[in-house]
Structure 1
């Protein structure tokens, strides 16, 4: 659902010669009212049927107009085309019988009906799927599609969980005559247009999930996580009744005194019982600490990074802390004692402790494609044995595990897969430089082919670097390196 700047609720409130873009407060309030009305139609009036679950997010376009993405799971199952037609239409309405709906549909732009849009005759093949009732009611772009396949996952990560937009920028002094390192100057920042700013100032929600999802804690006896603030007395923390409780212990405690609770599994417990307010406070504090340990990469939150590191150094090792600080050297100077604590325990001299710690950090950064010297932890460059680095890289590649099922994949190929497999493998084994492009829709077996090639090449003690365009694609392969291109074999 996209905001329509021509809604009468907006246009009627504008002063003479005033444009919609000058009233971001009006845009935010009207769209929110329309959104609440849409939710009422979907979840209270149940115009599509009873809803089992839903999730939606609010986004703002670069030009500022807000829009919402919904993913709805209906209780009933849709199988036949007739049931699809009850919800979605992809045809031009009858202009004579329903002029209002016809006008609303052609704004967005084979029963023979056509519409003249921008000097082109468009038929039903150009119509975005829509729900006639909602389009006529709201008078804006509302695209409605029915997804009965795994493609719903693609929609989740393409629209619902993709996160906010970013802009890339760098600041360059006018008098600078040196060559600019664009990567070094890269900054990550938010793009916020006035309507989004007003949306957040008003405190309107930006996402919602129904039903609420709980993260159920599992642990052994007396091994649950306990959190505390840096100024708290540890003795009092350990003696506190609150520290002895967790979601799991309270589940067991309720079972001892409530026979109805004994009929429920742990995962069913939250459907009938509510955690106490005191435990809710403990949960919120716990989440605050955990979030603090995985710090955002916002370069303007240096103080937050330092405070989070202070908290994390109490309850975890430095390996659990990932961030992009604006002043890495300052962070190193502040926390080098905590970072090097493990090396101090083995009795190394102070100089060796620093060397081993920096060596350890260097290896972590190398695995991420970074060079420790670019962070300037110390005044001079940190040099380690290049042969050691190269040897470690080769050893890591040769140690990539090969799933057994991938070794037998090549015996299950169809003719086209077999042809591609043989052609690529022949070039690899003859050490010829060549590039292949494998094309085809989802589900046609491209990944099946990739896995077989990776397995075969690696069993011959050769190195195959797999690259993927996204983390979702990377998760299905044994990926060593991420790249912006499709999979390649060298």
Structure 2
């Protein structure tokens, strides 16, 4: 375990880059007595179970969980004016930390429950939701009657949400839809950032996190002051229609301020995202289908891959039909 996972502050004099990486990305806190109002504090205790104990040798507890080596060697880092030692270090892998210069927590898993969880998660299939529909009626005595049999419908859905709206059961739907935040999302805020910052126009949507930080409280993109982040867009199957072609364009289009800009190319505004993809040469070959299969191969089950392959063949056949002369 000690060959792969570390939970100590390195020697600053031996490797300054290594030391600075741990200092910037892998130190928890301060919390506890030093900072009782830290976000991790719940009921006056750290919810992440810091600070840890000093131990000279890595071991396992009675439940099989690892206890990483944290020696009391006097090495500290300063964070928010507080000197913190190895008891505040989040376990990490040295190679990954120095390669990606980001917070990457690495843990040792040696329990059968870990394998059971992964196997169950990979093979669990599509998500499911229970939707409730009911209509109350009244009997001859004007008493309310609820048909419990028709009250529930068991539904299955396959979707990736791009924007969600939270509301209470008794909220008026008109008031919910009229909220200013309903039309504000990370995606639409991208349009605003392209209007406000010139260097934002150089980035496609997928690369926004590399130079900007999303502020949830004010729902705006702000220039990143330090650190680095990797962007990710929700996976969309090729058979999803226009939303799939929109996702393709978000990997290449830079600086749009509205949806029409995304569908524009060389001064022409195309009626659909699919037409815009064809105009840019994104659909002239099988590259988009190959990319979709390669992406899904990293996480999809064998059954889902077969379904995706069928969808790809169907979509490719439609594309060929559209290109044939009348």
What's the TM-score, normalizing by structure 1?
0.21
Structure ranking higher in helix proportion: 1
Higher relative contact order (CA 8 A, sep 6+): 2
State which structure, 1 or 2, has the greater radius of gyration over its C-alpha atoms.
Answer: 1
What's the TM-score, normalizing by structure 2?
0.29
Structure ranking higher in strand proportion: 2
